[in-house]
Amino acid sequence: MSSSREIAVVGSPDFTTGFRLAGVRRFENVSDDEKDEQLDDAVEAVLDDEGVGIVVMHDEDTDLLSRTVRERVDTSVEPVVVTLGGGASSGTLRQQIKRAIGIDLMED
């Protein structure tokens, strides 16, 4: 992965604002009222952007994705998709780390 890759955030304006204040320049705002219609397009836009290395989403938003886009998110290696919130289990975080770096750091 090139060092010029950036972080992209997809979600409601409330979710993306903190990342924007922290300096994330690539974001896709999807209003809560229109998530069902716009979320797939927003996620596909950042997945197709060659300048993006990491995509951050709220965990609950992945439930709203169509089956095709959800499978793409679940299997994406580059960019890596990281979900936050929603009480994600350590197993889910463990899978995200493993997918991102290619090895399991917490092998039993």
Structure tokens at 67: 């089956």
Query: In sequence order, what are the residues at sequence separation of 6 or more whose Cβ sits closer than 8 angstroms to the Cβ of residue 74?
Result: 81
Q: Supply the Cα-derived Rg of the chain in whole angstroms.
A: 14
User: pTM for the whole thing?
Assistant: 0.77
* Tokens matching residue 7: 């972080």
Average pLDDT over residues 67-75: 93
The domains of the chain, with CATH numbers, are: 6-101 (3.40.50.10580)
pLDDT over threshold 50, residue 107:
yes
Q: What is the pLDDT of residues 21-68, one digit of tens each?
A: 999 999 999 998 888 889 999 999 999 999 999 999 998 999 999 999
Mean pLDDT, residues 87-93 taken together: 53
Q: What's the rounded mean pLDDT across residues 58-82?
A: 92
Residue closest to 43 by CA, chosen among 59, 22, 23, 57: 57
